[in-house]
Chains A and B, each alone.
Chain A
C-alpha cells in the first residue's frame, strides 16, 4: 500500500504558514505581548514567499490513478499565493496597532489570521473539488472568529453572525453543486472534470451543479446578489479585519473562480452568461449604492464590491468569441494585484485616521490635508487609483487591460456597463478626495500626536501600499505581467 508520495518542497508555503500560526500562538502565550505574535506572523510570511516562488512548476500528492495530483503549482497559482502573502503582511502591520492597545487579543488574532491565510495559500494550487471546498472553509471559518474578536463592540458579534450564516448557506449550496457534478461525471479532480467537459455537452444536472458551485465563489468575492453580508460585516469588524476580508478573502474567492472556470472552459457558453450578468450587476450595483454612503468603511465595502465586478469582467467576456486562456487569467490577476495594493492602502489610511481621531464618516475627513498632509496625499492617490484617474495611473491601466477582453470578444453590453460603472465610481471617489483638501470649517485637534504606541506600524503599512501603488504606476508591467514573472 503505497502512501501518497509527498513532495514537501511543493507544499512548503502552506505548511510554513500553518506552523507560523502555531508558533505565533505559543509565542504570545509565553511572552504575554501581542507584538511578538505579529513579529512571528511577519517572519512567517517573509519565509513563505520565497518557498512559494521556489515551488513554481512542481506538483505533489499524486495518487496512482492516472497520476491525478491534488496539489499542482502553476505560475498563476504562485502569483496568487504571492498576492495573498504580501497582502497578509500589510494587514498584520495594520492590525499591530489594535493588538498593541489590547483592543484585540494578539496571539489568537494572528493565529486565526495565519490559519486562514494557509487556506488561502492552499486554494490556488488545489487540483480537485474536495480540497477546494475544504480549503475555502479553512479560509472562511477563522475570519468569522476574527470579526467577532473585537472587544467592547457589541455589533462585532452581529457582523460575525451575518457573515457566518451567509457562509454556511452558500457552502451548503456549493457542496450540493459538487455532489451533482460528481454524480454526473463521476470525478472530482479538475483534470478528469475538464476531460469530461471536453467530452460532452453539459447535462442539465451538470449545469445546475456548476451554477450552484459558483455560489460559494460569489459569496467569497461578495458579488451581488451574494453581497448582503459584506457592508455590515466590514462595518462591524475592526478595520484591519475588514481590509483582510476585502483583499485576501476575495483573492481566495478569485483563485477558486479562476480554477473552476479554467476547468469547465469547454462549457463556457453555459456558465459565461451567468458570470457576465454577475459582473455587470455587481459593478453597477456596487457603485450606485456607494454613491449614497456616509461611513468611510461602508463606502470602501461597496467600492470593493464594485471593484470585484471589474475583476470578473475578463471571465465574463468569455461569453463572446474569446476563449478562457492565459490572456484572460493574466488580466484578472493583473487587476487583482493593483486592486490589492490600492484597496489595502485606502483601508490602511482609514485605519490610521479612525484610530487617531475616531472619525468614521468620510465627510469628516474635511481638511485632513491641513492636519496630516502625508496621509491625505496617500489617500487621495489611492482613491484616484481606485477611480482610474491619473495620477492614479495603475488604476487606469488595469481598467484598460480588463476592458480589452470584452471589446476583443465582442461582448459590447459588458464594455458599456463597465464604462458607465467607472464614471459613477469616479463620482464618490472624487467627492471624498475633495473633502481632504477643503478648508477645515473648525480646527479639530491636531492629528500629529501619536495617541497609542505601535501606531508607527500602521503608518508603515500605508507607506508600503503607497510604494507598491506608485511602483505599479511607474512600471505597470510589474502588476500586469506578474504571472509571467514566475
Chain B
C-alpha cells in the first residue's frame, strides 16, 4: 500500500463509514465528513515535505491487461501540488457544509458523496495506471451527478443532474476509447510508459490525444460540451465550489498536463485546443455579463477561466496552466462559498433579490471582494500572476519558439487580453449589484455563522499570497517539474513580462468602465435573452442530439414491437391457420379421403417414373 493509495483510501473509507453510520447522528456524520479530506490533506502534506521523491512510479506489481488491479500510483511535483490543493479545498468545503447544510435531511449521504468525490479526484491525480485513472475519472462523474441531484425534489435539480452526467459521459466515451487506443497501441497500462511510447509515434499520439481531448472538453466544460456546467448550479453551493470550480473541472486540464509529452507530439490537437479555448474564453465571459443569477455568473466565469488554462496548454506551457489551475481553484472556491453564504442568508440566488449587503455581511463582503479582485487579476493577488504567466506563454508562442504556429500564439494573446476586459466588466457588475446600491428584497440579513465564514478567510489567504511563489524559480516552477516522469526542459520562472502587464492593465480599466455603466438594476434583465441562455447551444443540443435520439428510440421500439414481434407471433398464428386449412380437408366423407389418397398415389407414381427415367 503506497502513500498515495492511502491518501485516496482515507476519504473513500470515510465515505463508506459515513453512509453506513451517518443516519445515526448529524454530529458524527459531520465529523467523519471532515475527517476524510483532512486525513488526505495530512498525507499530502507529509508527501510534500519528504522531498525529493525517489522513484516517480510506485508500482504495486499488477500489470498487463489481464491482472488489471489498478494500483500503480505516481508521485511527482504536479501530482502532490494538485493533491494538496484538492484536499485543502475539500476539507474547507466539508467544514463549510456543516453550516450550510444544517436544514438538509439527507446530510449524511451528501457528506459521504463529497468524501467519495474527493477520493475519486485524488485517484485521478495520483493515477500511475491508466485503469485507475479511468476508475477515478468515471466515479467523479457519478459523484457530480449524485451531488447535483442532491435535492431531487426540485425539477431542475433532476434535469441538471442527468444532463451533467450524460454530457460528461459523451465526453467520457471519447476518453475511454482514447485510453483503449493507448493500451492497444502501447500494450502497457502504466501511464509514463504509455505516454512515452505514444509520443514516439505521431499517428497514435494524434488519435489518442484527440480522443482524450474529447473527454477533457466534457469534464472541463469547454465548448461544445460546456452546457452542463451552468445548469449544474442547481446543486448546493458547496458542491459547486468544490466540484464545479476547483477540482473536477480542473481534472481535464490535469490529465492533459499528465499526458503532455503526447500532446506535444500532436501539434494539430494543440491548435484545435487553442481555437476551442479562445471561443470558450470569450463566449463564456460575454454570457456571464448578462446573467441574472449570482451562481450562474460565477459558473460562466469558471468556464471562461478554464479556457485560460486550456489555452496555456495549447500554447505549450504546462507550468502556466497548472499555476493558473491552482490559483483559480483558490479564488473561485472562495467566490462560490461566499455566494453560498449570501444565498444562505438571503434565501435566493437571483440578483434581483440581492443588493446593498455591504453592511450586513462584512466578512463575506471582504473575502468576496478579494476573490473578485483575484479573478480580475489585480496586482498583488494570485490571479494577476497566474493570468500573466498565461499571457507570457502566449507571447512566447507568438514569437514562434513553441511547437505550435505563431498565429495560434497571437490569437490566444489577443483573445486573452479582450477577455480580461470582459472579466473585469462582469466582476464589477456583480460586485456593484450585490454589495453597492439600495437593499433589494426584504427580511433581516445577518452574517453567516463562523463555521461558514472561517473557510472563506482561510481561502482568502492563498488567494493573496500564492502569486508570489511563482516569482522565484526555485519555488513553484521547479516544484511542479520535480521528479516529473517526463522532464520538459529547465523550469523557467513564471515572472510576468512588462508588455503583458501593460496590456492587461489597459484592458482592466476598460472593463471597469463597462462594468460601472451596467451596474444599474435595470440592466439585470430576466435571463431569457438568447445571450443569457448560452447562445442557443442548449437549443442546438436539443435539435442535434436529443431529438434525433428520441426519434431513433421511437423507431426502435416501433420496429421491435411491430416488425420482429409481429413476425414471431405471425409465424405462430400462421402455423395455426395452416392447421385450420388442413383441417378443412377432413370433412368426414371417406370417399373424398380415398380419392385424395389415390390421386396422390398416381402423382407419386408419375413423378417417380419421370425422375427414374431421367
Contact = CB atoms under 8 A, between A and B. Distances in A.
Contacts of B612: 201-202, 204, 207, 269-270
Contact of A292 (B580, B593, B594, B608): B580
Interface in B579-595: 579-580, 582-583, 586, 588, 590-594
A274 B576 CA distance: 27
A288 interface: yes
A291 B575 contact: yes
Contact of B579 (A215, A231, A274, A289): A289
A161 interface: yes
Given A173-B598, A173-B601, A273-B608, A228 B575 contact: no
A324 interface: no
Contacts of A273: 608, 611
A161 B593 CA distance: 13
Contacts, number: 84
A218 B593 CA distance: 13
Contacts of B586: 228, 231-232, 289
B594 A165 contact: yes
B502 interface: no
Contact of A226 (B597, B611, B613): B597
Contact of B583 (A161, A204, A228, A292): A292
Contacts of B579: 288-292
A166 B583 contact: no
B601 A229 contact: no
A211 B604 contact: yes
Contacts of A427: 575
B72 to A, nearest CB: 51
Contacts of A292: 576, 579-580, 583
Interface of B is mostly: helix
B497 interface: no
A284 to B, nearest CB: 9
A176 to B, nearest CB: 11
Contacts of B588: 232
Contact of A225 (B576, B596, B613): B596
B594 A204 contact: no
Nearest to B603: A225
A229 B609 contact: no
Contacts of B578: 288
B549 to A, nearest CB: 38
Given A162-B590, A288-B578, A228 B596 contact: yes
A272 to B, nearest CB: 10
B605 interface: yes
A427 B573 CA distance: 12
Given A232-B588, A273-B608, A212 B593 contact: no
A271 interface: yes
Contact of A166 (B580, B590, B601): B590
Given A211-B605, A285-B582, A288-B582, A161 B597 contact: no
Contacts of B590: 161-162, 165-166, 228-229, 232
A46 interface: no
Nearest to A203: B612
Contacts of B520: none
A204 B613 contact: yes
A169 interface: yes
A297 to B, nearest CB: 14
Interface string A253-272: 00000000000000001110
Given A170-B597, A173-B601, A288-B575, A207 B583 contact: no
B605 to A, nearest CB: 5
A290 B596 CA distance: 20
B553 interface: no
A424 interface: yes
Nearest to B581: A288
B576 A228 contact: no
B602 to A, nearest CB: 10
A291 B576 contact: yes
Contacts of B604: 211, 274, 277
Contacts of A288: 575, 578-579, 582
B600 interface: yes
Interface in A119-135: none
A322 interface: no
A207 B598 contact: no
A1 to B, nearest CB: 42
Contacts of A323: none
B609 A207 contact: yes
A288 B194 CA distance: 64
A169 B598 CA distance: 9
A196 interface: no
A138 interface: no
A212 B597 contact: no
A269 B583 CA distance: 33
Contacts of A228: 586, 590, 592-594, 596-597
A368 B261 CA distance: 79
Residue in B592, B594, B596, B611 with the greatest tally of chain A CB atoms within 10 Å:
B594
Interface in A149-196: 161-162, 165-166, 169-170, 173
Residue in B576, B579, B600, B608 with the greatest tally of chain A CB atoms within 10 Å:
B579
A208 interface: yes
A185 to B, nearest CB: 16
B601 A215 contact: yes
Interface string B48-71: 000000000000000000000000
Contact of A211 (B576, B582, B598, B608): B608
Given A285-B582, A291-B576, A292-B580, A166 B608 contact: no
A264 to B, nearest CB: 12
Interface string B414-430: 00000000000000000
Contacts of A208: 605, 608-609
Given A232-B588, A288-B579, A292-B579, A225 B597 contact: yes
Interface in A192-239: 201-202, 204, 207-208, 211-212, 215, 218, 225-226, 228-229, 231-232
A165 B586 CA distance: 16
Nearest to A204: B609
Residue in B575, B580, B582, B601 with the greatest tally of chain A CB atoms within 10 Å:
B601
A142 B605 CA distance: 31
Given A211-B601, A292-B580, A424 B575 contact: yes
Interface string B449-480: 00000000000000000000000000000000
Contacts of B576: 291-292
Interface in A267-301: 269-271, 273-274, 277, 285, 288-292
A212 B601 CA distance: 7
A292 B586 CA distance: 12
Contacts of B611: 270, 273
Contacts of B601: 173, 211-212, 215, 225
Residue in B576, B580, B604 with the greatest tally of chain A CB atoms within 10 Å:
B604
B377 to A, nearest CB: 77
Contacts of A274: 604, 608
Identify the 10 closest CB pairs spanning chains A and B, nearest first: A228-B593, A225-B600, A288-B579, A162-B590, A291-B579, A292-B579, A211-B605, A289-B582, A225-B597, A226-B597
Given A273-B608, A277-B604, A288-B575, 15 more contacts: A165-B590, A166-B593, A215-B597, A228-B590, A229-B593, A270-B608, A270-B611, A270-B612, A288-B578, A289-B582, A289-B583, A290-B579, A292-B576, A292-B579, A427-B575
Interface of A: 161-162, 165-166, 169-170, 173, 201-202, 204, 207-208, 211-212, 215, 218, 225-226, 228-229, 231-232, 269-271, 273-274, 277, 285, 288-292, 424, 427
28 contacts: A162-B593, A165-B590, A166-B594, A166-B597, A169-B597, A173-B601, A202-B612, A204-B612, A204-B613, A207-B608, A207-B609, A208-B605, A211-B604, A211-B605, A211-B608, A215-B597, A218-B597, A225-B597, A225-B600, A228-B596, A232-B590, A274-B608, A285-B582, A288-B578, A288-B582, A290-B579, A292-B579, A292-B583
